[in-house]
Structure 1
Amino acid sequence: MKNMFAKKFGFGLMRLPLNNPDDMADIDIKTLQNMVDSFMKQGFSYFDTAYVYTGSEEAIRETLTKRYPRDSFALASKLPIFAVSAESDQEKIFNDQLQRAGVDYFDVYLLHNVTIETYQSAQKFHTFEFLKQLKEQGKIKTLGISYHDNAELLDEVLTAHPEIEIILLQINYLDWDNDTIQSGKCYDVARKHQLPIIIMEPLKGGTLANVPKDAEKLFKQYNPDASPASWAIRYAAGLDGVVMVLSGMSTMDQMLDNTAYMQNFTPLNEEEHKIIAQAAEIISANIAIPCTACMYCVGTCPENIPIPKYFDLYNNKMQTIEMAYYPQQQYYDNYTKTHGKASDCVECGACEEHCPQHLKIIDLLKDVAKEFEVALPSELAE
């Protein structure tokens, strides 16, 4: 196809429109099809999915790959090394992905969620050799990794594997100086190795699209028509070496907002960068748990605890002025009817192993339990 990076904005397929917001598999295909059509009609053509994005590969087959010429779009997917238990699993998973997505090759294929643990697994299962074979066979056009660990390890990985052609990094203005996620430091390593960069989580799971009122006021004073999301995505897209910024979109309104300002992209100017820095300070002071709701932890929990849902309720309650009754409490109680409570955590650590944000989930669930698992005052319980 023509240059797949001609426009810097890609459709991330982790967070799709749903018929039932509590069922990630119940994708609203009709709405997604309308969004895909709008996206393509406006000249955008890059789509990013993954094996572990529930129903995503099948949904993109129905809405995109069955309906458009193969050379009119670029499709990226990822190999979940964390789901591989034997070397032979890799080929099976890859072939399943081709079938599920309805294609015979991927334009970009990434080793998913590289960390110290998954990198060791990749070495054990000769994963990079397997991926090089796929590229030689024409089943992968561009080979890369998505990364969620420290900058020192990233330098080690890229030095050891010059076959890596592209990298997907979590970068946003809130995580740039974060000592755990190390967005800025990892970006510097990628630039050192002269790799083109794709950015994920530019909105940090929606956090930077729904900013505190004081931060939004800063944005609106400068440009009343620009959404908070536009500031975050333009920040990411303006970095040197960045060829694509991905955003998960679950509504047509989100799609139209994003494509409007990315149609003819302009980087932030010096004054806008100063405003972003002020907004980051305000937002950081208002976030209790920096969860991006990627859902990687959910499938590993033996107690069926909807961890991101509980963290979201906790954050919302912490940002709410003191009230006699918190609506978040009712939502929490509703979830516990069909899911595990925060206090049901058995501290197995499986969630923490899969968390790209390196959150101390076990301890945080204790905070959630303290906040929500208390008896209502008698006057409210009556």
Structure 2
Amino acid sequence: MEYRTMKHGETPSLLGFGCMRFPTLADGSIDEEKAEALLDHAIENGVTYIDTAYPYHNRMSEPFVGKVLKKYNRDAYYLATKLPLWDVKTLDDVKEMFQKQLDRLDQSYVDFYLLHAMDKEKWELVKRLGIIPYLEQEQQAGRIRNLGFSFHDEYEVFEEILTARDWDFCQIQLNYMDVEHQQGIRGYYLAQERGVPIVIMEPNKDGALANLPADIESIFRAYDPDASMASWAFRWIASLSNVKVVLSGMTTMAQVVDNLSVFHAFKPLNHRESILVEEAAKAIRAKTKNGCTGCNYCMPCPFGVDIPKNFKIWNTYAMYENKEQAANGFQSLDRSNAFASVCKKCGACENKCPQHLPIRAHLEQVAMDRKTWGIDEQE
């Protein structure tokens, strides 16, 4: 297992176990027997960074993880969890929540504590309530060893937050398809410049890069027929030197074993392999159906169609051919009656679209493709 050094000398495993995708039972609860076996196998094979959060698995991830970790020496792992800012309205709420999390984890301290899913609105809340000074007090008291944040917003917001103080680390979504998404690769380089270690989430883009369409997969298979698609995504992101931990939300033992094989004798991408990843990313992007940027200038639709979301689902399915993901997306639209077939072809949206897209024709095609994919509006 490869280990990299954080700001204050900690050396977590390059592969981190993300505790939001444990196997579950029919009622949605964690299958504790299977999940514990996954954690045990990972830890016994060198994984030392365990990442959970208050809301994961209907708020049951923290207590479960805490229970499993009690059988290990406290210095055998690094534990990360996150402050759910959407659940706090006052500084007292923050204090109560942090203590509650320590109790749920059955821990006296957390190695890596994050402000969860930071964006512009949450950052304003953090400043308004004085949350940082309080967490710094907890850090001085030894109950927090490293203070950071996870992020979901645009680059400008990331820059503002990252440069506001001397953070111990930060966690970002980044993979070879998301170099311009949220903070993107610019954010990575900014953090590197400021000496802020990076923890990566979604290295496989919610599994999309682990299950590629056959024609994209063939690009990689021609070079190395035995390497998993997930391994290419992991190696791309972990080839960045300021990436200290790559989180993987592992659900099966096969995923744990494959991921361990990548990081046990980690090899950064060579020049030829880097070119192959670029070729694959370019081929995936070429599959998009239209150039919708999600700017929302076309909204609101007089008849309730969520135009950007329909196009996002349409383009994402075309790129990755993930039917389950597309079905879930369309079902969320169905509940709000915002799917493409509601379009009345009034044309109001096309007059406002800066990309000059033929929105009416494309919405009609979305509805037709949905039927072709076998995802009807009654699912």
- Same fold by TM (over 0.5)? yes
In the TM superposition, residue 9 of structure 1 has moved relative to its aligned partner by 0.6
User: Which amino acid in the other structure matches residue 269 of structure 1?
Assistant: N
In the TM superposition, residue 6 of structure 1 has moved relative to its aligned partner by 4.5
C-alpha offsets along residues 83-118 of structure 1, whole Å, 9 cap, x if unaligned? 212221111111111111221111100111111111
**Equivalent residue runs for 1:207-286 within 5 Å:** 207-286=208-287
In the TM superposition, residue 66 of structure 1 has moved relative to its aligned partner by 2.2
Equivalent in the alignment of 1:42: 45
Equivalent in the alignment of 1:12: 18
In the TM superposition, residue 225 of structure 1 has moved relative to its aligned partner by 1.0
- Match status 1:175 vs 2:178: yes
SS for the counterpart of 1:341 is: helix
In the TM superposition, residue 152 of structure 1 has moved relative to its aligned partner by 2.6
CA contact (8 A) 1:317 1:328 kept: no
**Equivalent residue runs for 1:95-110 within 5 Å:** 95-110=99-114
Question: Which of 325, 333, 343 matches 2:336?
Answer: 343
**Equivalent residue runs for 1:73-88 within 5 Å:** 73-88=77-92
Within 2, Cα distance between the matches of 1:45 and 1:284? 35
SS for the counterpart of 2:208 is: coil
Structure 1 residues 368 and 29, CA gap change in structure 2 (3 angstroms):
farther
TM-score normalised according to structure 2 size: 0.76
Rg: which structure is higher? 2
Within 2, Cα distance between the matches of 1:372 and 1:279? 24
- Match status 1:158 vs 2:162: yes
Structure 1 residues 215 and 191, CA gap change in structure 2 (3 angstroms):
same
User: Which amino acid in the other structure matches residue 343 of structure 1?
Assistant: S
Within 1, Cα distance between the matches of 2:16 and 2:125? 29
C-alpha offsets along residues 135-192 of structure 1, whole Å, 9 cap, x if unaligned? 0111101111111223332222232212x1111111100011x2x4231111111112
Equivalent in the alignment of 1:58: 63
Within 2, Cα distance between the matches of 1:31 and 1:212? 29
Within 2, Cα distance between the matches of 1:51 and 1:108? 14
CA contact (8 A) 2:287 2:318 kept: no
CA contact (8 A) 1:111 1:146 kept: yes
Identity of aligned residues (%): 35
SS for the counterpart of 1:18 is: coil
Within 2, Cα distance between the matches of 1:280 and 1:95? 44
Question: Which of 27, 32, 35 matches 2:35?
Answer: 32
User: Which amino acid in the other structure matches residue 67 of structure 1?
Assistant: K
SS for the counterpart of 1:175 is: coil
CA contact (8 A) 1:4 1:73 kept: no
User: Which amino acid in the other structure matches residue 209 of structure 2?
Assistant: L
Structure 1 residues 99 and 140, CA gap change in structure 2 (3 angstroms):
same
SS for the counterpart of 1:142 is: strand
CA contact (8 A) 1:150 1:186 kept: no
Within 2, Cα distance between the matches of 1:56 and 1:217? 37
Within 2, Cα distance between the matches of 1:188 and 1:57? 32
In the TM superposition, residue 219 of structure 1 has moved relative to its aligned partner by 0.8
SS for the counterpart of 2:177 is: coil
Within 1, Cα distance between the matches of 2:62 and 2:313? 26
Equivalent in the alignment of 1:118: 122
Within 2, Cα distance between the matches of 1:288 and 1:76? 39
SS for the counterpart of 1:154 is: helix
Structure 1 residues 226 and 168, CA gap change in structure 2 (3 angstroms):
same
Within 2, Cα distance between the matches of 1:132 and 1:318? 44
CA contact (8 A) 2:52 2:81 kept: yes
SS for the counterpart of 2:207 is: coil
Structure 1 residues 129 and 208, CA gap change in structure 2 (3 angstroms):
same
In the TM superposition, residue 204 of structure 1 has moved relative to its aligned partner by 0.7
Count how many residue pairs are aligned between Structure 1 and Structure 2. Answer: 323
User: Which amino acid in the other structure matches residue 88 of structure 2?
Assistant: V
Unaligned runs of 5+ in 2: 291-308, 340-358
Within 1, Cα distance between the matches of 2:289 and 2:89? 35
Within 2, Cα distance between the matches of 1:368 and 1:11? 40
Within 2, Cα distance between the matches of 1:320 and 1:233? 21
Within 2, Cα distance between the matches of 1:30 and 1:372? 41
In the TM superposition, residue 65 of structure 1 has moved relative to its aligned partner by 1.9
Within 2, Cα distance between the matches of 1:159 and 1:255? 36
